[in-house]
Amino acid sequence: MPLIIALIGIAILLLLIIAFRLNAFIAFVIVSLIVGLGQGMPLDEVASSIQNGIGNTLGFLIIILGFGAMLGKLVADSGAAQRITTSLVKLFGIQKVQWALVLTGFIVGIPMFYSVGFVILVPLVFAVAQTTRLPLLYVGLPMLASLSVTHGYLPPHPAPSAIAIMFEADLGLTLIYGVVAAIPAIVLAGPLFSRTLKHINPTPPKDIFDLTPVPEHQLPSLLTSIVTALFPLILIGSSAVVGLMTEEGSTLHTLSTYWGNPLLAMLLSVLLAIYTLGLKRGKKMDEVMKSIVQAVSGITMILLIIGGAGALKQVLIDSGVSEYIGDMLKGSSLSPLLLAWSIAAAIRVCVGSATVAGLTTAGIILPVLGTAGVSGELMVLAIGSGSLMFSHVNDSGFWMFKEYFNLSLKETLSTWTVMETIVSVTGLISVLILQTFI
């Protein structure tokens, strides 16, 4: 019954948004109430879940998306994105520009949270599409496939790292096996799949990014553009490296945790951009601040929609849907790897959060691992790939992609959702193949 109510709730959500054209945030709150009450939760508990879901989702994201929008706006308005993309196109050529973005997404995705990497790289994707006149999704999906795979498969991301610790898996081996499994997933879901989507060519929201070309002589230097745009990566990535190379408790190790904190890294990056892409180039502070205000005002509805997705996710968790699904599948006779993937996929589809799906599945499957004789490293990857399955309307990442890329709900389902499904299924196949060699 809990699963049926959850599915009915998702169907109502789609109906409200598609058929009745209701604002997605309002629809999320309505459906969250329906699902919570339908699961037998008292009204005050449902209201509390909605509040907690919005707060927990936006508590971190509002900082990252806010600073990310500011940085992206400054990078785009100054012409830094134009300078970087022009150089990328010259280096790789238009025919190979997808692979340039795949590599960029993979490098950025390993040390960064998905949402941080997304808001940093999206302006570059828009600029590449404008410079090359290639369809936006053709150049954007390869980068997003890389970011998604690193988020779901690889340490040091929260879910893979936590699951590896729970299963006593070697983090180094998990990372190596994860890279092996990531390559076919990224290639299939990114460059190959995106080539079937040339007929869908949206334009980015004008209130978020202004892609009017800047005259060549007014562009910042390539070095300034790269350092400023990727400064969050430089801070967070160097923090991870220093953390591995220094002793815990040492002064340098402690300092590295400070500058690698996403909040501080994004704040420092915005301050750097204000100077290097604004004040240093002769702009007045009022002019720079105007760009920042425009950037933040442009993502207001995006934040509300993502918060709404978080509300539904929390109601589904608090009402016990994830536990119900796990108990339902726990007695299955499937192989442990396939079972782990199936549980994670089912929870992901119903709850929406990859991290929740991964960690919940790990708790369910942990007792099975001791008697199954399966590699802990492969189990981490099986759960990680399952946790990315069929992202749809209850996933905040779905709405982030939809709103930033200015797509309809139908277009988002046929692009983002299919991409995530390819990533998930390909990951499972890779894990099963790896099992024969390990």
Given this model, what pLDDT does residue 394 score? 87
Average pLDDT for 343-355 = 87
Local confidence band at 331 (pLDDT 50, 70, 90 cut-offs)? low
Q: What is the pLDDT of residue 73?
A: 87
pLDDT at 210: 62
Q: What distance separates the 2 farthest-apart alpha carbons in the chain?
A: 68
Where does the pLDDT of residue 332 fall: very low under 50, low under 70, confident under 90, or very high at 90 and above? low
Number of domains in the chain: 1
Question: In terms of C-beta density within 10 A (0-12 exposed, 13-18 middle, 19 or more buried), how is residue 368 classed?
Answer: middle
Q: What is the DSSP letter of 331?
A: T
Mean pLDDT of the chain: 87
Q: Please write the tens of the pLDDT for every residue from 3-20.
A: 889 889 888 987 888 788
Tokens of 362: 């790990």
pLDDT of residue 352: 85
Which phi-psi region, left, alpha or beta, contains residue 403 (left: φ > 0; alpha: ψ -120 to 50)?
alpha
User: 10: closest CA among 43, 34, 37, 44?
Assistant: 34
Please give the pLDDT value at position 180: 95
Stated as kind and residue range, the H or E segment containing 421 is helix 418-435
In tens, the pLDDT along 251-293 reads 999 999 899 888 899 899 999 999 999 999 999 999 999 989 9
Residue type, 140: G
Could you tell me the pLDDT band of residue 51, with boundaries at 50, 70 and 90?
very high
How confident is the model at residue 320, as a pLDDT?
A: 84
* Paired tokens of 422: 């390819």
**What 8-state DSSP symbol labels residue 94?**
G
**Whole-number Å distance between alpha carbons of 164 and 100:** 30
3-state SS track over 341-359:
HHHHHHHHHHHCCHHHHHH
**418 pLDDT band (50/70/90 cuts)?**
very high
- CB neighbourhood size of 63 (10 A): 14
| φ, ψ at 212 (rounded to 5°) | -65, 125
Cα distance between residue 214 and residue 74, in whole Å: 13
pTM: 0.78
94-133 pLDDT, tens digit each:
889 999 999 888 988 876 778 878 888 888 888 888 888 8
Q: Note the pLDDT of residue 164.
A: 87
| 8 Å CB contact between 379 and 365 | yes
Query: Is it true that the peptide bond before 156 is cis, omega within 30 degrees of 0?
Result: yes
Most confident of 244-253, 263-272, 418-427: 418-427
> How far is residue 378 CA from its own chain's centroid?
22
> What percent of the chain lies above the pLDDT cut of 70?
95
pLDDT of 371 > 60? The answer is no
Strands (E), 371-434: none
Residues 190-228: tens digit of each pLDDT: 999 999 998 898 988 776 666 667 788 889 999 999 999
**SS3 call for 221:** coil
Asked if pLDDT for residue 310 goes beyond 70, the answer is: yes
| More reliable by pLDDT, 279 or 321 | 279
**Which residues have CB under 8 Å from 77's CB, separation 6+?**
210, 277, 291
Whether 363 shows a pLDDT value over 80: the answer reads: no
Concatenated DSSP letters of 386-430: HTTTT--TT-HHHHHHHHHTT--HHHHIIIIIHHHHHHHHHHHHH
CB–CB of 318/358 below 8 Å? Answer: no
Q: Name the packing angle between helices 321-330 and 300-318 (round to 10°).
A: 50
Average pLDDT over residues 27-38: 93
Cα(12)–Cα(434) distance, integer angstroms = 41
Separation of alpha carbons 282 and 45, rounded Å: 54
Determine the Cα–Cα distance for residues 272 and 62; give it in Å rounded to an integer: 20
Q: How confident is the model at residue 329 (pLDDT cuts 50, 70, 90)?
A: low
- Per DSSP, 200 falls in state -
Portion of the chain with pLDDT greater than 90, in percent: 42
- The domain of 192 spans 2-435
370 vs 166, 336, 344, CA distance in Å? Answer: 12, 11, 19
pLDDT at 207: 65
Mean pLDDT of 347-376: 78
Residue 18 pLDDT: 76
Check residue 181 and give its pLDDT: 96
**Confidence check: pLDDT of 171 > 60:** yes
State residue 209's pLDDT score: 64
